[in-house]
Chain A
Amino acid sequence: MLHIVNKSATERNSLESALRLATKGSAVLLIEDAVYAATQGSVAAAKVQTAMADLQIYALGPDLDARGMSARVLDGVKVVDYGGFVDLVTEHNCCQSWL
């Protein structure tokens, strides 16, 4: 399963729910305002770091760039471009978007 989250974790609880309900080995892709959760110093970063033990965490590069956050990405988070986004979707048999 690929979980896609697009809401800021410091504004909504979508990321928290996705991380709580994702099974071990699943992938979580952070896009749009959700990418802030994968940056150093954010209160949401701790949740992402804990989740990395069981989940693969990805973040969309163009969204990080557009928010001035590219240099602050947490270690262990894999940054992908739009091509990588497509690859993730095709690699998983199911996607869940947490709106």
Chain B
Amino acid sequence: MPMVEVAGKSFEVDEEGYLTNLNDWNQDIAEYLAKEEKVEMTENHWDVVNFLREYYDEYQIAPAVRVLTKAVAKKLGPEKGNNKYLYELFPYGPAKQACKIAGLPKPTGCI
């Protein structure tokens, strides 16, 4: 497995760049993974990333994008829980990119 070095520590990622061990995750790694995805993290990005980590903690899966959108709407309001908003934050797919930055595995039920 490839290793990456962030803030003097090395971490294992898979061949697609997803963090191998969920518990390795921290803010520095999130910033690094975001950079790899060419995403500049703002407060709005963090809201989604933190939401995903909470979702994973509760259900032990990364949600499909449809499920994510619905759940974000419920938690953060309809102006954030819609495809347009989430794709603006994460242009290459909110579930895929945001999950990666959140240190989660690839979404279940995302095809």
Q: Is chain B in direct contact with chain A in the complex (CB below 8 A)?
A: no
A-to-B contact residues, CB < 8 Å: none
B-to-A contact residues, CB < 8 Å: none
